[in-house]
Amino acid sequence: MSTARPRFAPRAVLFDLDGTLLDTIADLAEAANRMLAELGRPPRPQDEIHRFVGKGIPNLVHRCLTEGSAASEAEIAAAVPVFRRHYTVVNGVHARLYPGVDATLQAMRARGLRLAVVTNKAAAFTLPLLERTGIAGYFDTVVSGDTLAVKKPDPAVLHLACARLGVSAGQALMIGDSANDALAAQGAGMPVLLVTYGYSEGMPVDTIECDGLLSSALQALDYIDPA
């Protein structure tokens, strides 16, 4: 039995960054392990750090220091600038566009859709990364993890992106990889599609409520009515 695929007629598409547009795990893991080494702590395997990505850098650092080990709040606070110093150096070195992403962004622009990035990554890292990977020019606006005092899953960041794009939440479509994206979209009242290849904090992506699963970003085009 098959369920009909829903179709949407958005005027704007909001994209998550890490795990949706860009495969950034190698750089994040490198920075995390350089931080752990500097703090005299053992390294962690990349697939473990993979589960820690999704709620921004302070959360990633917190989990690197406290899962299976102990750290005081002061140690965690002191480690955040250490991570940021290392990530500044390695951000974008290994990061790659996922297959189909460039063609998807191009096709969406050709259809007249306005595009935004809404990421939990801090702005200091988001903008250089979009430049280094050659996709900055596709986006009309970028909302980062420290643009507001709240991040995804708080819908406020999606509302801000919509306001900057001049569309209502109901005229936008969110594309992400985690429950943070799905909950933010549902809170804002917009449909959400999730890619199955990203970072979902160890949660099987098909257990997260959403309007469709994508094994390639290109499949998003099948959910969008031509203008």
**Of the listed pieces 6-14, 31-39, 40-48, 116-124, which binds ligand PGA according to CB under 6 A?**
116-124
The verdict on whether 16 is a catalytic residue reads yes
Residue the block writes with tokens 């702005």:
123
The dihedrals phi and psi of 190, each to the nearest 5 degrees, come to -125, 155
Residue 141: count other Cβ atoms within 10 Å of its Cβ.
18
Residue span binding Mg ion (CB under 5 A) among the ranges 33-41, 62-70, 93-101, 175-183: 175-183
The count of chain residues that interact with ligand PGA, using the rule CB under 6 A, is 14
23 binds Mg ion (CB under 5 A): no
Binding Mg ion by CB under 5 A: which of 13, 16, 87, 162?
Answer: 16
Q: If DSSP states are collapsed to H, E and C, what string results for 113-131?
A: CEEEEECCCCHHHHHHHHH
- Assess 144 for contact with ligand PGA (CB under 6 A): no
From first CA to last CA, the distance across the chain in angstroms is 30
Q: How far is the CB of 56 from Mg ion (least distance, A)?
A: 11
The entry of Mg ion, ligand PGA, none that residue 120 binds, CB within 5 to 8 Å by partner kind: ligand PGA
CA 15/CA 130 separation, integer angstroms:
12
Q: Which helix (H) or strand (E) holds 96?
A: strand 96-97
155 binding ligand PGA? (CB under 6 A):
no
Give the three-state DSSP class for 212: strand
As beta bridge partners, residue 173 has 13
Residue closer to ligand PGA (CB basis): 165 or 195 = 195
Q: Which residues are catalytic?
A: 16
Binding site for Mg ion (CB under 5 A): 16, 18-19, 177
Binding site for ligand PGA (CB under 6 A): 16-19, 53-56, 60, 119-121, 145, 152
